Amino acid sequence: MRDRTAAIIVIGNEILSGKVADTNSAFLTRELRRLGVSVRRILVIPDDLDEIAETVDTYHRAVDIVFTSGGVGPTHDDVTIAGVARGLGRSVVRHPWLEQKIREFSGDQADEARLKMAEVPDGARLLFGGSLIFPALQVENIYILPGIPELFRDKFEGIKDRFASDPFHMRVIYARGVESALAHYLNETLLAFPLLQLGSYPKLNDPEYQVRVTLESKDRAYVDRAFDDLMARLPPDVIVRTE
């Protein structure tokens, strides 16, 4: 089955200094999972040209799709465009369509700071969609999105259809008792189904269950067989309910 991999690079000193909590990566991770895309890594890095360039250089070769969040505004600390360009060995150019829109919008106030918003890595495509007039950017396998959560979501909604892959299928077992009492059964099922994505997550202070066991695969029949295998192994009094 087709699998596509992704990395999410969140760029922003405000997150590393604890002034703003990153919500974009959690939103994007959930959306990509629904689309059948495997997120391999999430990174939060500073507004630093060299660090952005190095991270982009590494991940654009390591995964199928790279998303960046943040650092695309008009001020001194917005260096994502220059960082992505450097990471790909490209120059930064002013995009004619963006420049025209900014000049139309700003009139005689179109100074260097405003025109900085027209800069893109050379060869970048403008991706329209969503409710904002300003597009997202794509260059090679890198998608450059704004950091403000409302804008990030709007731009992603506008382009997400292109990322759809074969979906994941998940079954869930809610269990009672300590996680260590389940480990033996999980290991046996994993030996029989080595390609299964099997997760075991303890939950504190829940009156209904103590461990949530998830079984996942892109192959629905495989995950169903693994689910039946594990259910047959588990002591019946352990099982609270299943999904």
Nearest residue (CB) to a second copy, 3 versus 89: 3
Distance CA 157, CA 152 (A): 9
What residues numbered 102-161 form the site for a second copy, per CB under 8 A?
A: 106, 109, 111-114, 116-117, 148, 150-151
The count of other CB atoms within 10 Å of the CB of residue 8 is 25
Distances (CA, A) of 122 to 25, 112, 139: 26, 19, 8
Binds a second copy by CB under 8 A, chosen from 11, 42, 84, 142? 42
Binds a second copy by CB under 8 A, chosen from 176, 202, 222, 224? 202
Distance CA 40, CA 162 (A): 19
Binds a second copy by CB under 8 A, chosen from 11, 24, 32, 52? 32
Q: What is the 3-state secondary structure (H, E, C) of 4-69?
A: EEEEEEEECHHHHCCCCCCCHHHHHHHHHHHCCEEEEEEEEECCCHHHHHHHHHHHHHHCCEEEEE
Binds a second copy by CB under 8 A, chosen from 45, 72, 84, 136? 45
Asked if 190 is part of the footprint of a second copy (rule: CB under 8 A), the reply reads: yes
The rounded radius of gyration (Å) of the Cα atoms in the chain is 22
Nearest residue (CB) to a second copy, 111 versus 157: 111
Mark the segment that binds a second copy (CB under 8 A) among 83-91, 135-143, 178-186, 231-239.
178-186
Start-end of H helices in 69-179: 80-87, 96-106, 112-116, 149-159
3-state secondary structure of 197: strand
Asked if 33 is part of the footprint of a second copy (rule: CB under 8 A), the reply reads: yes
Asked if 73 is part of the footprint of a second copy (rule: CB under 8 A), the reply reads: yes
Shortest CB 59 distance to a second copy, Å: 12
Asked if 98 is part of the footprint of a second copy (rule: CB under 8 A), the reply reads: no
Binds a second copy by CB under 8 A, chosen from 64, 99, 140, 216? 216
Q: Is-contact 55 92, C-beta < 8 A?
A: no
Q: Is-contact 171 224, C-beta < 8 A?
A: yes
The binding site for a second copy (CB under 8 A) comprises: 13-22, 25-26, 29-34, 38-46, 73-77, 106, 109, 111-114, 116-117, 148, 150-151, 168, 179-184, 186-187, 190, 197-202, 204-205, 214, 216
